[in-house]
Structure 1
């Protein structure tokens, strides 16, 4: 049978088959040895082939339903979002696959989403051909200073080439425009814990009943309320769906060579066409159009700082302290 992975619980997967069934699936141990350097070889959004083991083998009993199937093949992915695994730096962590649109939820405070995190997410999405929009959440709770900062960042990322939305998951402000952008698409909901992803999911998919939690007063950070990844159908859309994933603390880039990093910063890549040398690293070379733009305030210092931080990712562990 063929289907799509709609839930990853860590120990097993729920697959919605092409005929509408939902079946619990596992992955055989030898499946993990096919050169897949990932903490989990299967991601929500993957198209997969599943088979039931022969009766009497002892492998066909599960907790979700009466039988457990095994995933035997993964369809070729159109794209995926991947980051460096937080505790196994030589491996990847695939967050979701076959995404039409990633919605990165950011907040100005309580908790604050750093521009470093935003830029790393955007660069990784560029590398794997995943379109991204930015949703600036909690506008109903902005101070005057936070409103000014959000306005600056929205103008910055709009100029870079990303659509930005000012939203309130709590009140519903701005969600109609965002939902219109997601119509008929498989979207990914991403961001730090505490930025309001669960509240937003409950707005978009009321039957999801996602748990929400208060922000830590001591640290201004969110608590993990989503513990696994899951795909939900978007009501009122033409085949739209949303993949909700646990909150991301840091975003270490995976399998990205230093010479490639500038290609995934749209603004830096555009500017690099004017560099004197084709192999310019944009760090010290004479005739570097990127450095000239930075000096002339035509390139945001935060974007350049993020670029430099990603060049340093080859040094193990440095990315973990960047957020």
Structure 2
């Protein structure tokens, strides 16, 4: 039996079903499948693999998964599934128009907090008249300590590239943005060869079939030290891995007041002497943020994996 340390190391850069595109340290890409029926790999994973002969057209088999630094989940109406690992930061793209969902933004920030990943809010289309309203809605997040980067990807692309470039350098960044916020524009601006890289992945995944990948890894530089991960069609981070009782710990504005609650296991919903609800009444926590907390708390209380 081959020892783990003797197996080749690879980076998962794309997936389709049980087929994964693995990149070697030298930059070669090949298609692999996991050993056994279970498939736990996600884009960003480091894996151990070895070459194999297969009638599926795959060139290797994944034998082991290296320890992860972090892991993100996505969810839809039916299920929660892991989809990206080993990230340095998350860029949450919102825009002056269309009006962004504060609930979706908050859920994204909670997911990043739970995973221990730095999160930055990127406000696009600041050239529009609606920009001031968007700034005002984001003011509580600035006060919590989140960086809010303002740019206009289409109106001032050179300025946007100069602002984003240093923040992406040497990091693996995941970019999320609802439809209409300019996520594709951002990816194409920062990765001039984006379409070529997509084509490369499609060819690696297969030889003639029409395949699409849910999550895509892009290199931003020739030295392969900076990467951007995009997930087309991505709607919402999964939060079901979080216990309802721990939710407030991942919301900085609530977390600041938790120690003042009378009861150590306060849910911040109805208990007397709740410092969080007192902070809401005093205006230190916005009504919308507290409403989002109660909605997510209810979801987590009734839905467990």
TM-score of the superposed pair, with normalisation by structure 2: 0.84
Q: CA deviation at 1:60?
A: 5.0
CA contact (8 A) 2:18 2:34 kept: no
Q: Mark the runs of 5 or more structure 2 residues left unpaired by the alignment.
A: 1-7, 198-211
Aligned mates of 1:304, 1:277 — CA distance in 2: 19
Residue 69 in structure 1 maps to residue 60 in structure 2: yes
Determine the C-alpha separation between the residues in 2 that align with 1:240 and 1:104.
18
| Correspondence 1:82 to 2:73 | yes
Name the counterpart of 1:268.
254
List structure 1 segments (4+ residues) > 3 angstroms apart after TM superposition.
Answer: 314-317
Q: In structure 2, what is the equivalent of residue 51 of structure 1?
A: 50
Q: 1:20 to 1:174 in 2, by over 3 A?
A: closer
Q: Name the counterpart of 1:181.
A: 167
Q: 2 CA distance for matches of 1:10 and 1:238?
A: 26
Q: Tell me whether 153-162 or 72-81 shows the greater mean CA deviation.
A: 153-162
Separation in 1, partners of 2:64, 2:215: 20
1:126 alignment counterpart: 113
d(CA) in 2 for partners of 1:238, 1:18: 10
Distance 1:282 1:46 in 2: 37
2:196 and 2:250 map into 1 onto residues whose CA distance is 33
Give the Å deviation of 1:305: 1.3
Q: Secondary structure at the match of 1:209?
A: helix
Q: If the length of structure 1 is used for normalisation, what is the TM-score?
A: 0.80
1:97 aligns with 2:85: yes
1:3 correspondence with 2:10: yes
Which segments of 5 or more consecutive residues in structure 1 lack a partner in the other structure? 33-39, 212-225, 318-323
Residues 16 and 288 of structure 1: is their aligned pair in 2 closer, same or farther, counting only changes over 3 Å?
A: same
CA distance in 1, matches of 2:183, 2:87: 17
- Supply the distance in 2 between the matched residues of 1:105 and 1:266 (Cα, whole angstroms): 20
| Alignment correspondent of 1:136 | 123
* 1:160 Cα deviation after fit: 0.9
Given that 2:14 and 2:43 are in contact with CA atoms closer than 8 Å, whether structure 1 keeps it comes out as: yes
